[in-house]
Chains A and B, each alone.
Chain A
Amino acid sequence: MLNVQNLTKRYKRGDSSFAALDDVSLTLGGGEFAVISGHSGSGKSTLLNIIAGLLPADSGVVELDGKVITGLADNEISRIRNGQIGFIPQGHSVLANLTVLENICLPRWLYGNADGGGDYALSLLDGMGAANLAHQYPAQLSGGELRRVSVARALLGKPKLIIADEPTSDLDAGNAAAVMGLFAAAAKGGAAVLVVAHSEAGLDGVDCRRLQMSGGSLV
């Protein structure tokens, strides 16, 4: 499903440069749930952003479902991100001017798909015990509820790959467990799930592959 080969990314800092990613390779099959942990600055987010096509790599290759997606034009990689990758960025990523249901359906509308998958979106919310929030605006939601909306939005297109950057960072233990449970369920449904987590919060009893990053490398 996901095949990452020899990714390298260097950043400049003043006159010198440092490796945010240093020859990172990783494979993730469909139905597999992997959690990468590591200290701040270890390169976790850089790895996710390159896989999602938001950031170019200096070298290396990312393959999704057998297709090389590194080096594609913005339009091409954006469409792949929209259709095949469910990306949950760090922090709150629910748009304040749209209702919960509109937020969840938005990825489909971005490419002119008039059917926003509203029924499926409602069933996802229902499965998360949040169906009553469908027509609320984000300002009325708690942190845990907002995060669930982000997850529901990532799941809407039934993507092949789900990427989440610190999805439990500001949640209490109960909400963190609920969110990780959603990812585990998505993996059981056949998606490859790659999550970056700063801590072990919510992972108790979750069947996943644990990876560690340090100094830009997977160890």
Chain B
Amino acid sequence: MSKSLTLNKIALRNITRRYARSLFLGGLVALLAFVLTGGSLLVSSLRSGTESMAARLGADALIVPAGYERSAEGALLRGEPSSFYLEPDLAERLSQVEGIAQVSPQLFIASMNSEHCDAIVQFIGFDPDTDFVVKPWLSQLLSGGLPKGQIVIGSRIDGKPGQELNFFGRKYTVAAKLEETGMGFDTSVFTDLETSRIALADYISFGGENAPPDADGVASVLTVNIRQGYDSNQFSRNVNYGFRKEGVGVVFPKTMISNVSGNLASLIGVTVALMVLLWVLAAGVLTVLFSVTVNERKREFGVYRALGAPQRYLSRLILTESLAVSAAGAVIGTALITLVYFLFSDLIGLSIDAPYLRPAGGVTALVITGGFALSLVIGPLAAAYSAGKIGRIATYAIMREGE
């Protein structure tokens, strides 16, 4: 006895019995799903990274030693460790520049690639009394503030709260670990200014590169909030002209963010345009392929007509077959890129010279679902033209042989 064959079972049989054709069509959809979902994940990770960066670089301006503007950007954006310093009295005088509403020093120390340090990081010391940049988001982790002598580590640093890490030959207890930020903070260590000056003294004693003669009163960066309504260009001129002999530079994080955003907008635009183009091309190729396939099978469909299948049945059969092939391809392509994305997300982030942060779970799920859906619908959409005219073609094919 033979089991009843429903339309779905017949469609499945047609797919499996013509496996070479089905594999090719499914493979094409899988490739599309891989690229579409992958591209969308990349775009959303870049957007997420930029948003994270904007949320954490809360100062209007950074005053750094002349020539170290790029180093400051590199340290903040990409976690490139660097050490640079403003003389103690210079930092003091700079804090008096006209236009400043808030100012707070930060000390940057590049860890050493030796047995004296457990990891290669950017050591950042901030002043808990005056800081307005680090404390707002650090307080979400440590409601009671950062205890003296302890550190907060970035997400990519090996270690966990309570553990001791060695920097410049001294043990520091990890008070907390940051969530991923997609920027240089992921490989940074935060501590209070006083503790960081102890670390700097150790750094000097080990003969660290570009070290100042003395750790007392030293800062690398002055984070500045400009007085409301005060022209930022005028502030920049105040700093540059007032301290031209000493040599200082001004970095505007908002400009930095907007430069990064601008570059990313172009990259995202090109990526999205390529994805749209790919989708349209794939839809075109699949439309032609389905059309050719249906044309090759018109005699087969004609037999269904002769047996009493209405035109609607044939359209449904074609759409069901195309949906099943699309679904298989979309599942494989989406699953594969999801696996790659989660397994190699850190590697991808490191290889991209831009803020890169895996978005929240819900957003990631939405992006993956969107990529899957766009790949899933392409089969039935591409087959719709053939499905629409199959009744006429099939009838003609079955009659033709007899004429």
Binding site for B on A (CB under 8 A): 41, 44-46, 48-49, 52, 54-55, 74-75, 78-83, 85, 87-91, 93-99, 101-102, 105-107, 109-116, 118-119, 121, 134, 153, 165-166, 196
For B306, the chain A residues whose CB sits under 8 A away are: 52, 54, 81, 87-89, 93
A215 CA / B397 CA spacing, docked (Å): 23
B interface, over-half SS: helix
A97/B18 contact (C-beta < 8 A), A46-B403, A74-B391 known? yes
B308 at the interface (CB under 8 A from A): yes
For B311, the chain A residues whose CB sits under 8 A away are: 74, 78
Whether the Cβ atoms of B2 and A116 lie closer than 8 Å is yes
A49/B308 contact (C-beta < 8 A), A96-B17, A97-B14, A109-B5 known? no
Whether the Cβ atoms of B310 and A74 lie closer than 8 Å is yes
Contact of B300 among A78, A96, A107, A118 (CB under 8 A): A96
Contact of B5 among A48, A49, A83, A102 (CB under 8 A): A102
Can you pick out 30 interface pairs between chain A and chain B where the beta carbons lie within 8 Å of each other?
A: A45-B399, A45-B403, A54-B399, A55-B395, A55-B399, A78-B308, A78-B311, A79-B308, A87-B307, A87-B308, A89-B303, A89-B398, A89-B401, A90-B401, A91-B299, A94-B303, A96-B300, A97-B18, A98-B5, A99-B2, A106-B307, A107-B308, A109-B6, A110-B309, A113-B4, A114-B4, A115-B4, A116-B2, A118-B1, A165-B402
B47 at the interface (CB under 8 A from A): no
A138 CA / B281 CA spacing, docked (Å): 37
Whether the Cβ atoms of B308 and A82 lie closer than 8 Å is yes
How far in angstroms is the closest Cβ of chain A from B401? Answer: 5
Binding site for A on B (CB under 8 A): 1-2, 4-6, 10, 13-14, 17-18, 299-300, 302-313, 391, 395, 398-399, 401-403
Contact of A82 among B2, B4, B307 (CB under 8 A): B307
Which residue among B5, B17, B399 has the maximum number of chain A CB atoms within 10 Å of its CB? Answer: B399
How far in angstroms is the closest Cβ of chain A from B296? Answer: 12
A85 CA / B2 CA spacing, docked (Å): 23
Contact of B308 among A41, A55, A95, A110 (CB under 8 A): A110
For B18, the chain A residues whose CB sits under 8 A away are: 97
A103 CA / B308 CA spacing, docked (Å): 13
A116/B4 contact (C-beta < 8 A), A45-B402, A45-B403 known? yes
Whether the Cβ atoms of A90 and B402 lie closer than 8 Å is yes
**Identity of the chain B residue whose Cβ is nearest the Cβ of A109 in the assembled complex:** B5
A44 CA / B393 CA spacing, docked (Å): 21
A114 CA / B3 CA spacing, docked (Å): 8
